[in-house]
Amino acid sequence: MFDYIVNVSGYILEGSLITFQLYLVTAVFSVGLGIAGALGKISKIPFLQAILSFYTWVFRGTPLLLQLFFAYYGLPVLGITLQPFPAAALTFIINYGAYFTEIFRGGIESIPEGQYEAAEVLGLNYRQTMSRIIIPQTVKRVLPATSNEAINLVKDSALVAVIGLGDLLRSAKVSVTRDFSIIPFIIAAIFYLVISSIIVTVFRKLEKKYSVYE
């Protein structure tokens, strides 16, 4: 029994490699996309605002699973064929980028006007004001919402199994079917809980670090 658990765990762990890769790529690029999107949304360029509103409307308003199907099965119709991993990564980045755009926009807009004015009368330009005064304060305010998204992403990553990527959940499913045992599912659940717990801990540390002021 013990040997079986070790074996299956090893197999599931292999699958979780894909999960980790997808997680990392999505986290890095979607946060970047979110910052860019938020800055675009608070800009005073109507055209840019309209495009970004359409973007967040579509990607927050349709199921991630549908977007995944579209990237993998739909794009080839248009002549763009992606391998499963790039298709999944692209979908996740764009989808999470839409959520982060709205989270960061809300965060930036919650910073009082007085902060901009203080920076302005001290002579700071727009770039200096955003990077040194506004964004650092925004980070603290968006941490709780970002933490939620970070945990959602762990769980959402399981969706990639539907386009044939051998991730954590798919490895577990394969084991369940092969061995006629639900133990692999329990192991998978434990894996997800461990990953989520690590993320929660990291964010709690961050929030604590930022709580030195206020």
Partner 1 sequence: MIKAKNICKSFTDLEVLSNVSFAVKQGEVISIIGPSGSGKSTLLRSLIGLEKINSGQLFIEGTQVKDDNKIAYRKMGMVFQGFNLFPHKTVLENLIEAPLVVNKEKKALAIKRAENLLKKVGLFDKKNSYPAQLSGGQKQRVAIARALAMKPDIMLFDEPTSSLDPELVGEVLTVIKDLADENITMLIVTHEMGFARDVSDRVFFMDQGKIISDTVPEKIFVNPESKRIQTFLTKILSQNDSSQ
Enumerate binding residues for partner 1 (CB under 8 A).
112, 114-115, 117-118, 120-124, 128, 132-133, 136-137, 140, 212-214
**Residue with Cβ nearer partner 1 (81 or 211):** 211
Report which of 101, 110, 133 is spatially closest to residue 29, judged by C-alpha positions: 101
The token pair that represents 34 in the structure block: 């979110």
In the complex with partner 1, the residue whose CB is nearer, 60 or 132, is 132
Burial of 79 (0-12, 13-18, 19+ CB in 10 A): exposed
Q: With the C-alpha atoms ordered 143, 145, 146, 147, is the resulting torsion angle positive or negative?
A: positive
Is the Cβ of residue 53 or residue 128 nearer to partner 1 in the bound state? 128
Residue (85 or 140) nearer to partner 1, CB: 140
CB of 39 to partner 1, least distance (A): 19
Question: How far is Cα 130 from Cα 108, in angstroms, rounded to an integer?
Answer: 9
Closest separation in Å from C-beta 134 to partner 1: 10
Helices assigned H by DSSP within the chain = 2-42, 46-61, 64-69, 84-109, 113-121, 126-128, 135-156, 168-179, 183-210
Closer residue to partner 1 (CB): 47 or 213: 213
Query: Which of residues 75 and 140 has its CB atom nearest to partner 1 in the complex?
Result: 140
Q: Write the CA distances from 107 to 113, 199, 201, integer angstroms.
A: 13, 21, 22
Distance, CA of 79 to chain centre: 27
Q: How far is the CB of 138 from partner 1 (least distance, A)?
A: 10
Nearest approach, Cβ of 161 to partner 1 (angstroms)? Answer: 42
What angle in degrees, to the nearest 10, is found between the helix axes of 183-210 and 2-42? 40
Minimum distance, C-beta of residue 118 to partner 1, in the bound complex (Å):
4
Instruction: State in angstroms the smallest separation of the CB of 8 from partner 1.
Output: 48
